[in-house]
A and B are shown apart, each in its own frame.
Chain A
Amino acid sequence: MSASIWQRVCRNKARDLSDNKILEGRAYLQDSTCHRNLFKKTAIITQVLHPMTCSILYNFLLSLTRARALSVRQWNSSNSAKRFLDIKHTSLLMPIAGKKGFLDLPVVVEDELDEQFVRGSGPGGQATNKTSNCVVLKHVPSGIVVKCHQTRSVDQNRKIARTILQEKLDVHYKGVNSEIVKQKQEQQWKKQEKKRKAKDNLERKRQFKDLLKESSDATELKK
């Protein structure tokens, strides 16, 4: 099966199971310990795998956990759940788009950076109080330049500049496959899903209404 189809399959399963609201009240999806444990195990396993599959694997295992958690309560004998759980044995290379909080960004090597900082260097030494703290960071190999003056602290600006540079490098080197593009695609997909759900709900309500009407008509006729 192609990557995108697997993606949709896994997502649909996770959504359908969550739709049934089996675990009422428990915010199992927000259970951060669950996520962390998964992440640690994933991290150990994927040292030998290609870095790209790390995020994919994590998210796959995550969705599996959700399914498993759900299946414990009620779906023990359910066919669909079993089928879903069986999937994990077949292939580990599930292409699920990267989630926020685990970005596969390129490493920034300090030697390749040229940092410039606008600073008064005149006489007075400690007495000069300049408020300009703009940091200009240049990545020499690719020629990307980042200018940052978001905070009043030079140190923070330097850190932020490096983060921005990382993201820009990601886009630069990976192009279509970069994390930012993936995130955007993910958001678009979510939007579409929401619309589809709303449409489905509307359809179900309409059908139910029709059904009610039919049954009330039938009872009237009987009378």
Chain B
Amino acid sequence: MRSRHGWSNVFSGCCVCLASRLRAQSHLRSRSEHTAFHAAASFSTALSRKLCRLVHETMTGANCVTHLQKMFEQEGISEPQHSSEHIVSHVLGGKTIHSIAEEALSRPLTAEQKQKIWDLCSRRLQNMPVQYVIEEWDFRDLTLKMKPPVFIPRPETEELICLVLSELAKEEDVSFSVEKARWQNFHQAAGLQFLEIGCGSGAITLSLLRFFKQSRAVAVDKSPEAVNLTRENAERLGVQHRLQELQLNIISDSQKLARVCGSMDIIVSNPPYVFHEDMSGLMPEILSKVFLEVDPRHPEMIQNWLQEYSSLRLTYRATHQDICGKSRFCVLQRS
């Protein structure tokens, strides 16, 4: 009987989704399991048939992946194979499909698992990015929670962290691999301070906080959702006591930012690529460097702009390229 209850949830879920997609009447939800199944079966599209197969048949994890993949391909969803793999592996408790053991993949799925897969699948069918569908994603060695509308961190941003670390290592003249453990605790008394503009989900800030165990950070974003998500991720990773997050617009509230921040060692930013010319409002004392992730068109623009605003005493140090060979990162320094 318990399985029947599970089935009824799944069937009703199936019907609700079909209803929203095919604009059927909402009273379907209240029907009994038997008639609901018939109603679902009466929709003759291949999609509906596939969906009912999903809930009705005994499915193993591996079968489910291929099944979902075909469904996504049919509906024109991008990256059908990767999407289905990520969804199924997330429900089975792993991060990637390769981390799930063979025997776990060949075990039949429980009703709750199918229900969950179904929920995620229906979100993906609305073209929601996978990261929002499973509500988490990895960034370097961290796992962060993802929630729309906060931007998803991208691989180029991981390279930005590498760049920051290597630049700092050069400055400290540290042989990276040998003394890494010492260096991570290095700024014991002083405490490395950094500021992130446009923190989003907090990927950059949290990576650096995790790496430099004595550092402190201020994360700024103009969206309250982003600030809340950063705080949530910080708590998940156990670094919340070293983080201060602010919700403000750096262009208009730069004075407020300056008051809170005081002096900073580093500013890191991966802002939305909307280039504001009036960045002179950004006043916090920059002791060391500014790291920016930009669109390939920007480095030249930034260089010109810095020459114009020479009173800021910022020199353009370098442009670095990402793994695809595009100009992606700028390093500025206070002269």
Contacts and interface: CB of A to CB of B under 8 A. Distances in A.
Interface of A: 115, 117, 119, 121, 125-126, 129-133, 149-156
Which interface class (under 10, 10 to 19, 20 to 34, 35 or more) fits B? 20 to 34
Interface of B: 79, 82-83, 86, 95-96, 98-99, 129-131, 137-141, 151-152, 154-155, 158-159, 161-162, 272-273, 295, 323-324
Contact of B95 (A115, A126, A130, A151): A151
B154 A155 contact: no
Given A117-B323, A126-B273, A151-B138, A131 B295 contact: no
Contacts of B138: 151-153, 156
A155 B82 contact: no
Contacts, number: 62
A164 B323 CA distance: 20
A133 B155 contact: yes
B273 A153 contact: no
A153 to B, nearest CB: 4
Closest 6 CB pairs of A and B: A154-B155, A155-B158, A152-B138, A129-B129, A153-B138, A131-B82
B83 A131 contact: yes
Contacts of B272: 126
Contacts of A119: 155, 323-324
Nearest to A148: B98
Contacts of B95: 151-152
Given A126-B154, A155-B162, A150 B273 contact: no
Contacts of B82: 131-132
A124 to B, nearest CB: 11
5 contacts: A119-B155, A129-B131, A129-B152, A151-B138, A156-B138
A210 B273 CA distance: 86
A121 B324 contact: yes
Contact of A150 (B86, B96, B323, B324): B96
Contacts of B99: 150
B323 A154 contact: yes
Given A121-B324, A149-B96, A152-B95, 13 more contacts: A125-B273, A126-B151, A126-B273, A131-B131, A132-B79, A149-B98, A150-B96, A150-B98, A151-B95, A152-B96, A153-B140, A153-B155, A156-B138
A117 B98 CA distance: 19
Contacts of B130: 129, 131
Contacts of B162: 155
Nearest to A152: B138
Nearest to B151: A126
Nearest to B158: A155
B324 A117 contact: yes
Contacts of B141: 153, 156
Contacts of A129: 129-131, 152, 154
Which residue, of A129, A130, A132, A150, has the highest number of chain B Cβ atoms within 10 A? A129
